[in-house]
Amino acid sequence: MARHPLPGSERRLPDQARDVGAADPDQQLEVSILLRRRASEGLKARLDKIARGDRSDGHLSREAFAQNFGADPADVAAVEAFARTFGLTVVAEDLPRRTVRLSGSVTAFNEAFGVSLRRIEQGDFRFRGRVGAISLPEELAGPVEAVLGLDDRPQAQPHFRRRPGGVAQPRSASPTSYTPPQLAALYGFPSGAGAGECIGIIELGGGFTPADLTAYFSRIGVNPQPTVTAVSVDQGQNAPTGSADGPDGEVMLDIEVAGAVAPGARIVVYFASNTDAGFVDAVTTAAHDTTNKPSVISISWGSAESNWTTQSLNALDQAISAAASMGVTVCVASGDNGSSDGVTDGADHVDFPASSTWALGCGGTSVQASGGAITSETVWNDGAQGGAGGGGVSAVFAAPAWQQGLSATSAQGVQTPLAKRGVPDVSGDADPETGYSVRVDGADTVIGGTSAVAPLWAALITLINANRGSAVGYVNPTLYANAQAFNDITQGANGDFEASAGWDACSGLGSPKGTAIQTALAGVSPA
């Protein structure tokens, strides 16, 4: 049987990882197969117009997207035949999401995809991994664009930072904290509660307890309280760990920020495993959800672009672009490790999926206020604790039309025109020392990080959607054309990039003037 390597599927061992032997041949796993879409050129033409700010085609309904740009049933049938040949079982098929889910043993998957799955140790992590490329038989070389989930290495990190010592032991002598409604007021968010809208939140671990949410919203006076629903993706579950320093901190922060600012909106939390397959499947599930129909998706997980295979990066970028074509705004945290994004090679890196052209990348600031007004706002960089807002210039994505003519300012004050997509687009309070008062696993605490900024912006867009009666969808071109709708952040740096007048690579356009953002988006054509 002739076989072909799957482009972009190459894997290598992470730094300081070691192969300790073959994976258990009888271990059962599930893998997601991503198929090419029908009429891909037609969707590309539509997206090209959206990226230019041309909304004349309107938003696609989820049903219209599925009909025009889902997978071809013939390609699904080819995967089914392939699965039978290698003793794999088809456990799920989804034409709109272009996804076929297969299950089987390590031995069967090794033979089916020409790989050798191994047991890998990296520090305290133990995971199933592989090295090299996946191979496909001739009949799948065209239809299959990605094979995700053979590895189960963690793909992303949550972007939240708990104030050291929680509430009691801040690092500075004069810390403060805000409830989400207090920050919404400081940023001049428009009135309303987001009634009739749905916010989708992506989570790759941890969970929430309804009792905690009830206690929290009661404490800060949110009434009526938002409805929060968990959706399982690829067997992912709402599974609280009991540790506020673990993924529960991310989950509760996201829900409490979004729910407190837009309590009239339904909050739907999509839980998946922290793998490339889980991340992609969670976003495609939310984007194509015809039951809950989120108009905004909030993502507070990610990792440096260099940590992704090309196939998984492309798959997630396509998922976010599909959401944009259906009028869904995707808000993504830009990371908490400054201009390095936590990579130790001495170079600058940006976080993905915040760097996707189709995402609204959300960076971090530090906010001081008095008398109900902001008195100072600078780039978040806490120095000694190592946290700083992620930002810089993508190594993957081209500079979009709405960033043409912009420059990134270095810490030495040198301005370099953007050759690639700049991150972030917007910002908001993220410093743990001026952080968010939240409740996690039965205890009140203070949390910062750009993880808080993504749901804050998601809630703002939700209020605007509800107030205008239709989804604004892909907002980037309009926001960049309305710089006056932002508090321009001109002080501070995130490492190698410094704040400057206008857009910069550590605070983006700045933090929101909420009602001005609503006014800027008022002229956006309805779906």
Catalytic residue selected from 254, 429, 431, 433: 254
Return the closest-CA partner of residue 154 out of 29, 18, 283, 308. 308
Q: What are phi and psi of 128, to 5 degrees?
A: -90, 130
Question: 3-class DSSP state for residue 403?
Answer: helix
Please confirm, yes or no, whether 382 is among the known catalytic residues: no
Name the one residue in this structure whose structure tokens are 């008022």.
522
Q: How far apart are CA 520 and CA 483, in angstroms?
A: 10
- Structure tokens belonging to residue 294: 């989120």
Please confirm, yes or no, whether 254 is among the known catalytic residues: yes
Torsion of CA 178, 180, 182, 184, to 10 degrees: 140
Name the one residue in this structure whose structure tokens are 């039978």.
84
Strand 373-379 with 511-512, pairing? unpaired
Q: How far apart are CA 445 and CA 438, in angstroms?
A: 6
Please confirm, yes or no, whether 72 is among the known catalytic residues: no
Question: 3-class DSSP state for residue 296?
Answer: strand
Distances, alpha carbon 459 to alpha carbons 170, 257, 362, 462, 466, in Å:
28, 8, 13, 5, 11
- Answer whether 8's CB lies under 8 Å from 314's CB: yes
- Answer whether 463's CB lies under 8 Å from 512's CB: no
Helix (H) or strand (E) holding 211: helix 210-219
DSSP code for 474: -
Count Cα neighbours of 360 within 13 Å in the Cβ-side half-sphere.
33
Catalytic residue selected from 30, 250, 305, 504: 250
- Answer whether 390's CB lies under 8 Å from 334's CB: yes
- Answer whether 4's CB lies under 8 Å from 136's CB: yes
Q: How far apart are CA 390 and CA 384, in angstroms?
A: 16
Which are the catalytic amino acids? 250, 254, 451
